[in-house]
Amino acid sequence: MIGRGKARRMARDEEGFEAKARDSMQEWVETCLAVLPNLDVRRMFGGAGIYADGTMFGILHKGRVYLKTDERTRAAFVERGAGPFRATKKLVLKSYYELPADVLDDDAEFLSWCRGAVEIAEAAPAKPKGPAKVSPSQILAGHSRPIRDLAERLRKLVREAAPDATEAGYAGWRLIGYRSPHYFCFIAPQADHVRLGFEHGVRLADPDGILEPMGKQVRFVRTVPGRPLPTVAIERLIQRALRTLPAGRDAPRRQKVNR
């Protein structure tokens, strides 16, 4: 008698049956794992993520099941010839390994391995969703008094030119960033100068010629303690930056015309 897991693998490998096999595989996964708390299967990577209580512990992709592993459990997968999940040729999720065929053929064993994957996924530390935010004063701490004073002057300029902008320090980037509502400029203290950067500066008009390049799209004004601050030119740049949305977001939407 052919096990359900083997039957699904055979169907998956048959040309023209991939979509059907994938649907039946999801139904079987949902049936076998129904005892897990708040089981949910959501589309992702062209396949689906398998969740328990909101925590993803597995992936269903092209009729194959991949489970969350750690250093302790990964060896059991590798010993059976299983490999990591490849979302694309370049993207490999090394913590998710394909479920071995003999485990897939045994419903009870499948559930047991999934319970272990759930425990691993729940124990994994949550990844930060973005750079850690700190206070602006923490970004300026450790710099010389002239640099801190110059940065405070720039902060005042930005707040006056963009009173509705939100301000936050970003520890990883070592700068103070501003949003209104998009991320439009930042203040980055250096050892001997302070940079007033513009995230989309490459798209800003600069008749005063005070912008310097920083990568492909970022431009910044270099300000140095003891030198005159080009206040008017900076205020104009801030205003232009506020009106310059990220590429692709500032094109007017075409309205449908009834004919």
208-231 tens-digit pLDDT = 999 999 988 999 999 999 999 999
Among residues 211, 223, 209, 218, which one has the least CA distance to residue 151? 223
How far is it, in rounded angstroms, from Cα 193 to Cα 187? 11
**Averaged over 242-257, what is the pLDDT?**
56
Beta-strand relationship, 218-223 and 92-98: unpaired
Quick one: average pLDDT of 29-48?
87
Reference 84, options 100, 101, 69, 96; nearest CA is 96
Tokens of 47: 């396949």
Q: Quick one: pLDDT at residue 193?
A: 97
Mean pLDDT of 35-40: 92
Superfamily per CATH, domain 4-123: YgaC/TfoX-N like chaperone (3.30.1460.30)
**Domain locations in the chain?**
4-123, 133-243
Q: Which residues contact 79 (CB under 8 A, 6 or more apart)?
A: none
pLDDT for the residue 28: 87
Cβ partners under 8 Å of residue 108, min gap 6: none
Query: Around 27, how many Cα atoms within 13 Å sit in the side-chain half-sphere?
Result: 8
Which CATH number applies to 133-243: 3.30.565.10, 3.40.50.10860, 3.40.50.150, 3.90.1150.200? Answer: 3.90.1150.200
3-state helix, strand, coil in the chain (%, to 5): 35, 25, 40
Q: For 95-113, what is each residue's pLDDT tens digit?
A: 999 999 889 889 999 999 9
Specify the pLDDT at position 143.
Answer: 96
Radius of gyration of the chain from its Cα atoms, rounded to whole angstroms: 27
